[in-house]
């Protein structure tokens, strides 16, 4: 029996396992319930008494040797597996998910770029404004309906403090603190107390323009706006100015561009007129210049204001204004390529 165990010891020492299946086969052969070690233990009863001690020690030696060898083979296999899944630095990484610029930001940046090339710089105002900058300095009569609760959000504790209803308030902020030549644009958010629907929102975005200098004429205004329209909507774009009324400009006009969907032929988008309205403009009313501390005998100026949502709708045909403020990534992702 001793000899047999010695043979088994040798056998165990030389056994190998190339994979988990082979390792399991070894375990079954030597260490399982029906394995060789247990089998020897069962035979131990028949060993003559005088050999019991020696055989007992030998069986134990075999059991320990089998267990140890099994353990070391198991570790070897685990290390091998780990080696195989070491980091491969040459593999391409998983793609990084990039955010997209908001369509209103894309269009605002585009408008700003066009006017920056014409020498306009950006002026900033404030969204929580006072009545003076939004209305009084802009030549709104005391009883003008735009001051009505319907349109204006009042900041409760101060009847004089309101959320600006247009970016024209930046005109007076700039004119009060600087003298001509003034050539600014002011993009920003404005607020009006409107019920939210697909075509109206309680906040939206505008971009204001103001140019004040000596001898500024309506021709200058028209030329700058034509250039803007063609840069924004394409070289073949035509413009048309219709007389209008704003308290802060005299004369005032609304500007249409030839419909950029049908090229002016007439389609449902332009209600078959071939024209779509894009902004309000005019010569700065001398009253406004005076109210803001600029000599209206020496200087004249023009101003214009446009809705950024409106321009974005014309460019991208977004049918529901609410999409702009819902942050639905499915909508925002549509503008990935325009970034
Ligand atoms: N403030 C006007 C509005 O919110 C837009 C506007 C019209 C601005 C004519 C101007 C302008 O500067 O000259 O509807």
Which residue has the CA at smallest separation from atom 5 of ligand 1?
305
Cα–Cα dist 116/168, whole Å? 19
Q: How many domains does the chain have?
A: 2
Last residue of a domain, one of 85, 114, 149: 85
Residues 195, 323, single domain; the answer is yes
Cα–Cα dist 266/258, whole Å? 9
Q: Kindly state if the Cβ of 304 falls inside 6 Å of ligand 1.
A: yes
Give the mean model confidence (pLDDT) for residues 271-296: 96
Q: Which of 304, 308, 309 to mutate to test the pocket of ligand 1 (most atoms within 8 A of CB)?
A: 304
Handedness of CA 14, 19, 23, 26 (dihedral sign): negative
Cα–Cα dist 34/49, whole Å? 25
Residues 66, 211, single domain; the answer is no
pTM over 0.85: no
CB 162 within 8 A of CB 155: yes
Confidence category of residue 157, pLDDT binned at 50, 70, 90: confident
- Cα of 75 to ligand 1 centre, how many Å? 78
Handedness of CA 150, 154, 157, 158 (dihedral sign): negative
Within a domain: 227: yes
Last residue of a domain, one of 85, 120, 144: 85
Instruction: Tell me which DSSP letter residue 285 carries.
Output: P
Place of tokens 């000596």: 214
Q: Kindly state if the Cβ of 246 falls inside 6 Å of ligand 1.
A: yes
- Cα of 262 to ligand 1 centre, how many Å? 27
Within a domain: 13: yes
Confidence category of residue 185, pLDDT binned at 50, 70, 90: very high
- Cα of 168 to ligand 1 centre, how many Å? 6
Within a domain: 94: no
Residues 276, 188, single domain; the answer is yes
Q: Kindly state if the Cβ of 249 falls inside 6 Å of ligand 1.
A: yes
Within a domain: 96: no
Q: So what's the pLDDT on residue 339?
A: 66
On the CB side of 293, CA atoms within 13 Å amount to: 9
Residues 170, 304, single domain; the answer is yes
Q: So what's the pLDDT on residue 144?
A: 81
**CA 202 to centroid of chain Cα atoms:** 22
- Cα of 100 to ligand 1 centre, how many Å? 30
Residues 318, 258, single domain; the answer is yes
**Cis amide bond preceding 181, omega within 30:** yes
- Cα of 199 to ligand 1 centre, how many Å? 19
Q: So what's the pLDDT on residue 116?
A: 98
Last residue of a domain, one of 19, 51, 85: 85
Which residue has the CA at smallest separation from atom 2 of ligand 1?
305
Which residue has the CA at smallest separation from atom 6 of ligand 1?
305
Which residue has the CA at smallest separation from atom 7 of ligand 1?
280
CATH, residue 183: 3.30.930.10
Residues 33, 179, single domain; the answer is no
Within a domain: 294: yes
Give the mean model confidence (pLDDT) for residues 173-189: 97
Residues 72, 174, single domain; the answer is no
Ligand 1 atom nearest to CA at 166: 4
- Cα of 81 to ligand 1 centre, how many Å? 71
Within a domain: 90: no
Residues 121, 25, single domain; the answer is no
Within a domain: 72: yes
Per-residue pLDDT of 189-230, as tens digits, reads: 999 999 999 989 999 999 999 999 999 999 999 999 999 999
Which range marks the domain in which residue 264 is found? 103-338
Residues 128, 196, single domain; the answer is yes
Residue 42: exposed, middle, or buried by beta-carbon count in 10 A (0-12, 13-18, 19+)?
Answer: exposed
Q: Which of 151, 225, 242, 246 to mutate to test the pocket of ligand 1 (most atoms within 8 A of CB)?
A: 246
Residues 324, 238, single domain; the answer is yes
Q: How, if at all, do strands 182-191 and 121-122 pair?
A: parallel
- Cα of 83 to ligand 1 centre, how many Å? 70
Which of 137-141, 158-162, 293-297, 306-310 comes out lowest in average pLDDT? 158-162
Within a domain: 92: no
Residues 132, 232, single domain; the answer is yes
Q: So what's the pLDDT on residue 150?
A: 64
Residues 68, 212, single domain; the answer is no
Q: Which of 205, 305, 309 to mutate to test the pocket of ligand 1 (most atoms within 8 A of CB)?
A: 305
């Amino acid at each position: 029996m001793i000899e047999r165990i010695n043979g088994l010891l040798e056998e165990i020492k030389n056994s190998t396992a190339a994979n988990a299946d082979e390792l399991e086969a070894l375990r079954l052969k030597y260490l399982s319930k029906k394995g060789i070690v247990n089998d020897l233990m069962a035979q131990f009863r028949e060993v003559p008494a005088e050999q019991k001690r020696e055989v007992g020690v030998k069986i134990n030696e075999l059991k320990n040797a089998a267990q140890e060898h099994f353990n070391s083979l198991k570790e070897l296999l685990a290390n091998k597996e780990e080696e195989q899944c070491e980091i491969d630095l040459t593999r391409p990484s998983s793609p990084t998910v990039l955010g997209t610029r908001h369509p209103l930001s894309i269009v605002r940046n585009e408008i700003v770029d066009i006017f920056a090339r014409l020498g306009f710089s950006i002026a900033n105002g404030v969204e929580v404004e006072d009545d003076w900058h939004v209305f009084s300095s802009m030549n709104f009569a005391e009883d003008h309906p735009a001051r009505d609760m319907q349109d204006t959000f009042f900041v409760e504790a101060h009847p004089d403090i309101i959320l600006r209803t247009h970016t024209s308030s930046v005109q007076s902020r700039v004119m009060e603190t600087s003298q001509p030549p003034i050539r600014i644009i002011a993009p920003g958010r404005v607020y009006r107390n409107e019920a939210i629907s697909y075509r109206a929102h309680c906040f939206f975005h505008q971009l204001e323009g103001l140019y004040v200098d000596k001898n500024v004429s309506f021709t200058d205004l028209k030329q700058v706006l034509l250039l803007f329209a063609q840069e924004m909507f394409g070289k073949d774009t035509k413009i048309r100015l219709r007389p209008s009324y704003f308290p802060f400009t005299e004369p005032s006009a609304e500007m249409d561009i030839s419909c950029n969907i049908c090229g002016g032929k007439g389609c449902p988008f332009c209600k078959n007129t071939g024209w779509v309205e894009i902004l309000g403009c005019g010569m700065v009313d001398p009253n406004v210049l005076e109210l803001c501390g600029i000599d209206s005998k020496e200087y004249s100026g023009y101003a214009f204001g446009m809705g950024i949502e409106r321009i974005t709708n014309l460019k991208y045909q977004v049918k529901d204004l609410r999409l702009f403020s819902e942050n639905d990534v499915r909508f925002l992702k549509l503008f990935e390529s325009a970034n």
